[in-house]
Structure 1
Amino acid sequence: MSKKTWVLVADAAKARLFELPQKEANLIEIACYAHPDSRTPGQHPAHGRLPRAQESNGPARHAIEPRTTLRVKHQDQFAAILSDVMRRGRLERRYDQLVLIAPPRFLGVLHKHLDEQTLACVVDEVGNDFLKLSTTDLRTRIWQDGVAAPNAASVAS
């Protein structure tokens, strides 16, 4: 029996989800996600600058730097959304294997949100931004790099 593979190609603001039903098959795009807030410059949306604090002695005011920028928070939210999609797909048995393709930084954020069972389904990862590639170019690149061989044995520990 052939194993179904999902291929998630993402960056911090956009993601495309493909299904690879069998070896040597074409990629089938099953979903596309966008999170436009992740592309914002990271400033407060209401007034475009950091909040200010009044100096206790004198007229000076200083910007208050947040611990986490809005951009990082939005990327984190998007990774949580994508990980929920992956978890639900696993629970519904829509895939057996998972391939993650994203820039290294976002791949790390995504890892933080994936549960253990979903991480166990990950058979390969690529730390590149392939989001702008066409489906045909993506398929060629995946097979060229030896990624996502759906009928290959799963990675065992």
Structure 2
Amino acid sequence: MHKETWVVVCNKEKARIFEVEKFGNLREIYTMVHPQSAMKAEMLTRDGLGRTNEMFRSGHSTMDPTTPLKLKEAMNFAKEVAKYLESQKNGMRYTRMFIMAEPSFLGILRDELNHNVVKCVEGEIPKDLTKLDAKAIWEHMPIA
């Protein structure tokens, strides 16, 4: 494997991008964090959901979002990660990629990836490995 191979390790709060320097050796080259995904839902609504108190209706009503706020934040982060990966692909920084992601986030990220990025994905591992060091991450590679 050459330096054009990347390993993306992510969950809904953090994305770590590694470059394969040589077989068995990963070097972290970029990290993205999304602290909003770690927040409790009630903290995300600090401004409050829209409320109405109309005199012609009985009581108060809260306007619920159609998508849960935690999911919206995960989707926002997936868009950020996908945008970064697309820009780096356009800059010819990698030609191959492996994605290791928390299972629920993997599906969200997959939906956001550009078709040119998807063509570079050679493997997916549905595990959250964001807290592991590079050596431990390598041990989960499908080719290790």
Same fold (TM over 0.5): yes
Inter-partner Cα distance in structure 2 for 1:103 and 1:76: 13
**TM-score when scaled to structure 1?**
0.80
- Higher mean displacement: 7-16 or 82-91: 82-91
CA distance in 1, matches of 2:50, 2:105: 27
Q: Comparing 62-71 with 80-89, which one deviates more in the overlay?
A: 62-71
2:24 & 2:125 partners in 1: Cα distance? 20
Displacement of 1:64 in angstroms is 2.2
1:4 aligns with 2:4: yes
Give a deviation string over 1:84-112, Cα, whole Å, max 9, x none: 11111111111110111111211111111
1:79 Cα shift? Answer: 0.8
SS of the residue corresponding to residue 75 of structure 1 reads: helix
Counterpart in the other structure of 1:120:
119
> Aligned with 1:124: secondary structure?
strand
Deviation, structure 1 residue 69: 2.5
| Structure 1, unaligned runs of 5 or more | 150-157
SS at match of 2:41: coil
Q: Which amino acid aligns with 1:68?
A: T
**What is the percent sequence identity of the aligned residues?**
30
Q: CA deviation at 1:21?
A: 3.0
1:88 aligns to what?
A: 87
In terms of fraction of residues, the more strand-rich structure is 2
User: 1:2: how far off?
Assistant: 4.3
User: What is the CA–CA distance in structure 2 between the aligned matches of 1:45 and 1:85, rounded to whole Å?
Assistant: 29
User: Structure 2 regions of 5+ residues with no counterpart?
Assistant: none
Secondary structure, in 3 states, of the residue corresponding to 1:109?
helix
Amino acid at match of 1:12: K
Aligned residue pairs, count: 141
Write the letter of the residue equivalent to 2:90.
Answer: L
Corresponding position of 1:155: none
Matching residue's letter, 1:8: V
